Structures are given as structure tokens and as C-alpha cells.
């Protein structure tokens, strides 16, 4: 249970600071009437598509943050749906981290660490069954 708790805390911090606060910090810029500040001055992604649609990337980050925190709370409360949602969220983050450089490096480190903690807690010291021929 200790690894689940550590993974949950990591995922809550990841969701709150990286995803939600990132999304919330640019809302005033997006809704301002004169929108003189260009988000591309502050954020640079390696894929042109992401760079051109930065507002949508920020919105998506907020959604990821909410889902990540929801899964982490479920895992913290020892719910199976929280475990599954957290594993899915970690796998999706690991898959997408290389497209969101440079921020993807931190995303990947946090998601990989959380996934390793979850899997080692779930499977423990179980071994792979051997097939005798």
C-alpha cells in the first residue's frame, strides 16, 4: 500500500502543478480582449502542429490534469477503478511525452515513476510462471 500512496501523491502533484496550473495560468491570456501576448513566445514544442494549436494543447493539459488527479484519488482510496485509470493515464503520458518536448521530459519522469510504483505494488514478488516442456 505504501507504493500506491507514493504514486498517488506523485500523480496529484503532477496533475496539479504541471497540467492544471499550466492550463489555468494562460486562461487570462486566452480570454483577454486584446490578446497582445502570444503564447508561442513562452512555449515551444517540437511539432509544428502542436505549436500552431497551443491553446488546444493547454486545454488538453487541463483535461489530463483532472483525469490524473481523479485516478490518483481513486488509487489513494484503494479503488480498483483508480488503479486502472492511473495505469492508463501513465501509459498515455509515456506514449505522448516525446511529442511535448521539453515539458515531456518531466511528464515522462513523473509518469514512469508512478507506473513503476503501481506495478511493483500490484505484482509484488510474483514470478512469471514457467512452462515445462
- Which own/partner pairs from 20-29 qualify as long-range (CB within 8 Å, at least 24 positions apart)? 20/61, 20/62, 20/65, 20/66, 20/69, 22/58, 22/61, 22/62, 22/65, 23/58, 23/59, 23/61, 23/62, 23/65, 24/62, 26/55, 26/58
Distance CA 90, CA 107 (A): 9
pLDDT per residue as tens digits for the range 45-64? 666 776 677 777 777 878 88
pLDDT per residue as tens digits for the range 61-114? 788 888 999 999 999 999 999 999 999 999 998 888 877 777 778 888 999 999
pLDDT exceeds cutoff 80 at 8: yes
pTM above 0.85, yes or no: no
Supply the pLDDT for residue 88.
Answer: 95
**Quick one: pLDDT band at residue 130, thresholds 50, 70, 90?**
confident
DSSP code of residue 133:
-
- The residue assigned the cell 505522448 is 96
- The residue assigned the cell 498517488 is 8
Supply the pLDDT for residue 35.
Answer: 55
Q: Which three cell numbers stand for residue 128?
A: 512469471
**Quick one: pLDDT band at residue 117, thresholds 50, 70, 90?**
very high
Annotated domain spans of the chain: 2-27+46-122
More confident residue, 99 or 37: 99
Q: What percent of the chain has pLDDT over 70?
A: 75
Amino acid at each position: 500500500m505504501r507504493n500506491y500512496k507514493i504514486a498517488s501523491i506523485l500523480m496529484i502533484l503532477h496533475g496539479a502543478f504541471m497540467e492544471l496550473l499550466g492550463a489555468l495560468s494562460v486562461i487570462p491570456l486566452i480570454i483577454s480582449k486584446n490578446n497582445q501576448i502570444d503564447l508561442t513566445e513562452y512555449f515551444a514544442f517540437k511539432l509544428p502542429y502542436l505549436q500552431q494549436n497551443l491553446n488546444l494543447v493547454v486545454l488538453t493539459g487541463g483535461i489530463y490534469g483532472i483525469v490524473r488527479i481523479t485516478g490518483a484519488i481513486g488509487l489513494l482510496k484503494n479503488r480498483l477503478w483508480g488503479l486502472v485509470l492511473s495505469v492508463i493515464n501513465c501509459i498515455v503520458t509515456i506514449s505522448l511525452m516525446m511529442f511535448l518536448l521539453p515539458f515531456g521530459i518531466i511528464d515522462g519522469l513523473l509518469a514512469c515513476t508512478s507506473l513503476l510504483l503501481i506495478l511493483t505494488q500490484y505484482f509484488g514478488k510474483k514470478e512469471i510462471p514457467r512452462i515445462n516442456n
